[in-house]
Amino acid sequence: MARTLREVVFVEGVRTPYGKAGPKGIYAQTRADDLVVRCIRELLKRHPELPKEQVEEVAIAATTQIGDQGLTIGRVAALLSGLPNTTPGYSIDRMCAGALTAVTSVASSISVGAIDIAIAGGVEHMGRHPMGEGVDPNPRIVAEKLVDPSALSMGMTAENLHDRYPQLTKARCDAFAVASQTKLAAAYANGAIQRDLVTVSTRHKELGFGLATVDEPPRPSTTIEDLAALKTPFRIRGNVTAGNSAGLNDGATACLLASEESAAALGLPARMRLVSYAYVGVEPEVMGIGPVPATEKALAKAGLTIEDIGLFELNEAFAVQVLSFLDHFGIADDDPRVNPYGGAIAVGHPLASSGVRLMTQLAREFEEHPEVRYGLTAMCIGLGMGASVIWENPHHADYVATGKEA
């Protein structure tokens, strides 16, 4: 039987405020699963037109799947969120691209007609579960020289990227980092960030109860001089610092995806339409270059070129990683199309959650820029991978929804 693929739309995305990992962070004594449950409940609250029983899958990512981030967290989160017990769920791990992979996984299921509506997201409580907790890397990886030992340290892979591309100087990285802080502060001042945040009740044995309403990591007063004085922990006289990298953070995201027909039938908004996506492998020692071939592949699959992309949401794991992408495609460091609301250097990067943050921000930017037809969300991934997803703006004059073709 011939099968027609269906269009998939991004209906809504939300996230918790991001916190600093560690005993003094806002989520120090808040459970990881409760963070993602809060996001799912908010999605359902914002869309009462969606019957809960019509959510047919919940895919939640976590890099460290242990403790309150384990036990098939997608299914656990579905049950705790008030979805009926007929709603299945599963867990995903693709390190930093976990939530991004959750989205493309359920989108593929929607596209082939296996399901109509799903929730995807991610969570990382790096204060409670540091990356690598409980893992036991096979010694053959290093002993048989499958990778250089530096590949197992994300900071070292960023230093390796500096070595490979010497034009990506520390000065450029520091300037990019300061710009990220400045753009995030401006986005907050304009109310662009708050609309997609969910408040989270917190508890702490010593500090009592609290309410998380804004991101904890930003440092809006950061200057070039401040960053120049920071230590380079991964290498003596290196380039990578705490100031031009994303920090260690806690937080969660979730989004609602649907077939375009189902969204229209239920009256759900279509904020973006999926065009194409790609994952690639690269040398683990320079994992930060991953978004470059991933984007080239996604563009080729879509029949587009980089000139067709009008907005970029690039995960700022390290400034050098973003700059390597921009240099490759001939995009200026300060191009206004890139991370208009700032990025992970300022707001934080709770690993597996970040992909949906990128998508949620891109969807909002599409609303503000109807002249832009295509946008892109991309990120590097630990152990030498890259991911890129291309989206279409429904506010563009040339957008044609399913069933409305001339």
Active site residue ranges: 96, 349, 380
CB-CB contact of 361 with 206 (8 Å): no
DSSP state of 284: G
At CB < 8 A and 24+ separation, what contacts does 70-77 make? 73/32, 73/33, 73/36, 73/123, 74/102, 76/33, 77/33, 77/36, 77/37, 77/40
- In eight-state DSSP terms, residue 386 is E
DSSP tag of 63: S
Q: If you write DSSP's letter for every residue of 349-362 in order, what string do you get? A: --GGGHHHHHHHHH
**C-alpha span between 256 and 47 (Å, rounded):** 10
- Kindly report the CA angle at 318 between 280 and 314, in degrees rounded to 5? 60
DSSP string, 148-182: -GGGG-HHHHHHHHHHH-TTS-HHHHHHHHHHHHH
* The two three-digit tokens of residue 154, written as one number: 């994300």
How far CA 238 is from CA of 155, 274, 307, in Å, comes to: 10, 39, 34
First-to-final CA distance of the chain: 27
For the chain, the residue count is 406
Whether the CB-CB separation of 375 and 362 falls below 8 Å is answered with yes
Under a CB-based contact definition with an 8 Å cutoff, are residues 383 and 287 in contact?
A: yes
